[in-house]
């Protein structure tokens, strides 16, 4: 009986952590991780500050939980739905379409979580910056791997996969900002840039 009670509390605690971290992501997508606080998240959810503090301990722990929650949500929305497509051009285009959906629906109320927070931490060493950088590098490495496969398979012209991934990621970040500012042409511009990067070999 004691074990069942303990397990129930652990489960409720895990669910509460998940709910709070997801709400922290939404707040940080608007105002950034620095502006987010335990008190603000607690107030927005209508729960006690001490309850949130018990679950996360510090603001930094809450920030890290938000980064990880946003990362998993991005993987679910963009990366995992594209993994069953053929590597190379097909997967790059699938990733692009899922990304467009991710920012235009949008998944987070403030748009792309990574774009909203990277600039804020680029000069602030520490665990939060490290987590954001790892997320960014993983995304660019995924794109580079698909560009590399497309070149090796003869699908597209010769190019530097790492540079192409860097360029595409930069364009996507710019498009995220443009969409937040009401530029309805941003998605069309992204597709045109991708078409340029994916020019068939020999063209």
Is 121 in contact with 132 (CB distance < 8 Å)?
Answer: yes
Q: Which pLDDT score is estimated for 13?
A: 63
DSSP letter, residue 124: -
In whole angstroms, give the CA distance from residue 33 to residue 27. Answer: 8
- Other CB atoms within a 10 A radius of the CB of residue 201 amount to 12
CA geometry: angle at 158 spanning 155 and 163, to 5°? Answer: 110
Q: Residue 20 CA to chain centroid, in angstroms?
A: 18
The whole-number pLDDT of residue 169 equals 96
Residue 10, pLDDT score:
42
Give the pLDDT score at 8: 45
Mean pLDDT, each 10-residue run in order, the chain (203 residues): 43 77 92 90 86 90 96 97 96 97 92 90 92 96 98 96 97 94 95 95 77
pLDDT tens per residue across span 95-114: 999 999 999 998 999 889 99
* Predicted TM-score (pTM) of this structure: 0.89
Cα distance between residue 63 and residue 68, in whole Å: 9
């Amino acid at each position: 009986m004691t074990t069942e009670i303990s397990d129930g509390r652990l489960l409720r605690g895990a669910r509460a952590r998940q709910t709070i971290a997801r709400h922290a992501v939404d707040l940080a997508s608007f105002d950034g991780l620095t502006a987010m606080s335990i008190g603000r998240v607690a107030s927005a959810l209508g729960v006690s500050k001490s309850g949130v503090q018990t679950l996360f301990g510090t603001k930094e722990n809450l920030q890290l939980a938000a980064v990880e929650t946003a990362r998993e949500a991005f993987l679910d929305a963009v990366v995992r739905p594209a993994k069953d497509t053929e590597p190379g051009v097909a997967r790059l285009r699938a990733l692009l379409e899922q990304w467009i959906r991710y920012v235009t629906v949008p998944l987070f109320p403030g748009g792309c979580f990574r774009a909203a927070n990277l600039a804020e931490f680029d000069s602030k060493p520490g665990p939060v910056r490290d987590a954001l950088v790892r997320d960014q590098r993983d995304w660019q490495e995924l794109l580079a791997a698909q560009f590399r496969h497309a070149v090796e398979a003869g699908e597209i012209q010769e190019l530097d996969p790492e540079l192409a991934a860097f360029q595409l990621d930069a364009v996507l970040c710019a498009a995220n900002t443009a969409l937040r500012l009401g530029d309805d042409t941003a998605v069309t511009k992204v597709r045109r840039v991708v078409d340029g990067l994916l020019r068939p070999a020999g063209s």
